């Protein structure tokens, strides 16, 4: 049974990279979020990652996050992003 969106969003909000700079857990959380559907419900939590780690690239995970947000916004509010 997939986890509830609120649980996934909470885990994203609490995410911190491992001591060795491992961002894999966030990648897994984002995969769960996309599979659970309605990822736009976790937009504040996803954006909080950029606020907390503004100079990090997350070993590529940040790009997954950006593309996921873009798809989510385009799906839920097409006027929000330019074509």
Q: What is the chain's pLDDT, residue by residue, as a tens digit (83 residues)? A: 356 888 999 999 999 998 888 999 999 999 999 888 878 888 899 999 999 999 888 888 888 888 888 877 766 665 655 55
CA 54/CA 77 separation, integer angstroms: 25
Q: What is the model's pLDDT at position 1? A: 39
Q: What is the model's pLDDT at position 56? A: 87
Rounded-to-10 torsion of CA 76, 78, 80, 83: 140
Q: What is the model's pLDDT at position 60? A: 84
Q: Global pTM?
A: 0.80
Best CA proximity match to 38, nearest among 81, 13, 79, 68: 68
Best CA proximity match to 3, nearest among 34, 44, 45: 34
Q: What is the model's pLDDT at position 19? A: 84
Q: What is the model's pLDDT at position 79? A: 62
Both structure tokens of 74:
């385009």
């Amino acid at each position: 049974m997939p986890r509830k969106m609120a649980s996934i969003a909470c885990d994203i909000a609490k995410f911190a990279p491992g001591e060795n700079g491992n961002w894999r857990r966030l990648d897994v959380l984002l995969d769960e979020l996309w599979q659970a559907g309605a990822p736009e419900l976790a937009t504040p939590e996803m954006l909080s990652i950029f606020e907390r780690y503004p100079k990090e690239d997350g070993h590529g995970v940040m790009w997954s996050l950006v593309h996921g947000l873009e798809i989510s916004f385009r799906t839920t509010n097409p006027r929000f992003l330019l074509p």
